[in-house]
Amino acid sequence: MSRALIIGAGGVAGVVIHKCCQNSEVFTDICIASRTKSKCDKFKEELQDKTKTNITTAQVNADNVPELVALMKEYKPDICINVALPYQDLHIMDACLECKVDYLDTANYEPEDTAKFEYSWQWAYRERFEKAGITAILGSGFDPGVTGVFCAYAQKHYFDEINYIDILDCNGGDHGYPFATNFNPEINIREVSAKGSYIQDGKWVETEPMEIKRVYNFDQVGEKDMYLLHHEELESLALNIKGIKRIRFFMTFGQSYLTHLKCLEDVGMTSIEPIMYEGKEIVPLQFLKAVLPDPASLGPRTKGKTNIGCIFRGKKDGQDKTYYVYNVCDHQECYKEVGSQAISYTTGVPAMIGAMMVLTGKWKKPGVYNVEEFDPDPFMEALNKWGLPWTENFDPVLVD
């Protein structure tokens, strides 16, 4: 019997809510709390007659710690699942500390005024969480999230040392719009317009945005262009996986997306520097978000599949070894099941599973952790059960 407080009511939250309601044995009670309460109420209306989970809703500004604390004191959750935006991470962690509530998120903290994301801010909470006897799980979406669990699984079962990891994130879906993002447009555009980087021999190597391109033939999707990006899990995996010489992250983008993005960048629409417009300060990127399609509305239109996984090269018993593990997810199947496209689905399912790992005691340890620091086996088993089955290939095509 456990109570989860879910913060946020957007695309990813919708999947977390559906999945918790499918898993009523673990999630007996959930409270959906977000800035716009009507969105929380809509989920409650849709699901309350179809689930044994008791659903309540609340309005909360997750940037306001006293408001969060008041809500936690009233609702008394066992865990808080943060699926709002990365800007809220530290505020929600502060409230969890004050109320001694376990914490989980899917994206690392990012200051609103600097497009820079790294774990240092959240890792700085380690000692305080240890002392309070509560667990924080960072980055339990797909990437970060399942990709870290895949790494821990490869390390545990197949390698003595892993020297090279390439994380490949392919979205072969088509929503029919000339330009739209699959998750929060502001966060997405900040991520893809930033400089690229990867870790080589313990050091970050920086590239220009989209400077490194490769082509890869993805199972069930086909051949796609993919580009090297900076991604948060590189930082924790380089520390937690033994023997790493190089770790990179690639994401696929179509030409239309890139052409639109370049044009928007060139005219200043992706800037996060505030400007004055008709006597009011606005942030161009936030204005752009307001005119782009809401990612939560892409579900019914998106066709095709995602394929996300990791390719490993390393050694086992003195021999060279390669291994590829990935999940393929169908946008329309996700929509049929929970009313969302596959990007929200592949993020929301691992968030529910991560919370289940904590609530059932399998991943309960005071402190602040990345997912690859725990036993991957129960999580991998749960992926197969809860909608994200994985495939292994011991002779994959490598990325040069």
Residue ranges binding ligand NDP (CB under 6 A): 8-13, 34-36, 39, 60-63, 83-86, 88, 106-107, 139, 141-145, 183-184, 187, 295-296, 343, 347
Which DSSP category does 297 fall into?
G
Q: Considering the complex, what minimum distance in angstroms separates the CB of residue 72 from ligand NDP?
A: 14
In the structure encoding, which two tokens stand for residue 171, read together? 């979205």
In the structure encoding, which two tokens stand for residue 395, read together? 């002779």
The smaller minimum CB distance to ligand NDP, of residues 237 and 313, is found at 237
Q: How far apart are CA 36 and CA 10, in angstroms?
A: 10
Q: Considering the complex, what minimum distance in angstroms separates the CB of residue 57 from ligand NDP?
A: 12
The smaller minimum CB distance to ligand NDP, of residues 305 and 321, is found at 305
The smaller minimum CB distance to ligand NDP, of residues 21 and 321, is found at 21
The smaller minimum CB distance to ligand NDP, of residues 9 and 237, is found at 9
Q: How far apart are CA 96 and CA 367, in angstroms?
A: 12
In the structure encoding, which two tokens stand for residue 160, read together? 């003595």
Q: How far apart are CA 28 and CA 169, in angstroms?
A: 34
Q: Considering the complex, what minimum distance in angstroms separates the CB of residue 291 from ligand NDP?
A: 15
Q: Considering the complex, what minimum distance in angstroms separates the CB of residue 245 from ligand NDP?
A: 25
Q: Considering the complex, what minimum distance in angstroms separates the CB of residue 318 from ligand NDP?
A: 36
Q: How far apart are CA 144 and CA 188, in angstroms?
A: 14
Q: Considering the complex, what minimum distance in angstroms separates the CB of residue 351 from ligand NDP?
A: 8
| Beta-strand pair 213-218/203-207 | unpaired
Q: Does residue 87 contact residue 110 with C-beta atoms inside 8 Å?
A: yes
Q: Considering the complex, what minimum distance in angstroms separates the CB of residue 95 from ligand NDP?
A: 12
| Beta-strand pair 305-316/280-282 | unpaired
Q: How far apart are CA 347 and CA 141, in angstroms?
A: 4
Contacts of 90 (CB under 8 A, 6+ apart): 109, 121, 122
Helix (H, G, I), strand (E, B) or coil at 374: coil
Which single residue brings its beta carbon nearest to ligand NDP? 10
Q: Considering the complex, what minimum distance in angstroms separates the CB of residue 1 from ligand NDP?
A: 27
The smaller minimum CB distance to ligand NDP, of residues 62 and 310, is found at 62
Q: How far apart are CA 379 and CA 385, in angstroms?
A: 10
Find tokens 């394929």 and name the residue.
307
The smaller minimum CB distance to ligand NDP, of residues 205 and 292, is found at 292
Q: How far apart are CA 252 and CA 309, in angstroms?
A: 13
Q: How far apart are CA 158 and CA 391, in angstroms?
A: 15
DSSP percent split of the chain into helix, strand, coil, nearest 5: 40, 30, 35
The smaller minimum CB distance to ligand NDP, of residues 132 and 146, is found at 146
The smaller minimum CB distance to ligand NDP, of residues 67 and 130, is found at 67
Q: How far apart are CA 155 and CA 142, in angstroms?
A: 18
Which DSSP category does 303 fall into?
B
The smaller minimum CB distance to ligand NDP, of residues 296 and 368, is found at 296
Q: Considering the complex, what minimum distance in angstroms separates the CB of residue 131 from ligand NDP?
A: 27
The smaller minimum CB distance to ligand NDP, of residues 27 and 117, is found at 117
Measure Cα distances from 277 to 107, 149, 267, 274, 282 in Å: 31, 46, 15, 9, 7
Q: Considering the complex, what minimum distance in angstroms separates the CB of residue 188 from ligand NDP?
A: 8
CB atoms within 10 A of CB 175: 21
